[in-house]
Amino acid sequence: MSDQDIERRIARDIAKWQRGVCEKGAPLTIDEGWRQTPQGLRLPFSVLKSAGVPPREVELLAQRAALRERLETCADAQQRERLERELSELEQNIAFRLEALQRLGRG
């Protein structure tokens, strides 16, 4: 087998592979969330999203919303104070995590 035969065979196999790759998968949907996500975090968050696993920060924001709702309906002064303290700690935790993600995303 000559070098030209080998080169032709390699080129044919590469072309076959490329055709197979082009026919697979769905195109990436770029939405507003994708644009707002720091570039360094897009791939990890995309993998999490594909796996159906929300980032921890999403869960924390849901907890914050639930705490705020409980606080609005709370009549007991002692319990209200405890909820306010818990909300403050949670908001601080969220702020630290978001700041860390921003730094990570910048690379």
Q: What is the pLDDT of residues 57-104, one digit of tens each?
A: 889 999 999 999 999 999 999 999 999 999 999 999 999 998 888 888
The vertex-19 CA angle with 13 and 24, nearest 5°, equals 130
pLDDT band at 107 (very low <50, low <70, confident <90, very high): low
Number of structural domains in the chain: 1
pTM for the model stands at 0.60
**Containing structural domain, residue 12:** 3-106
Sign of CA dihedral 98, 103, 106, 107: negative
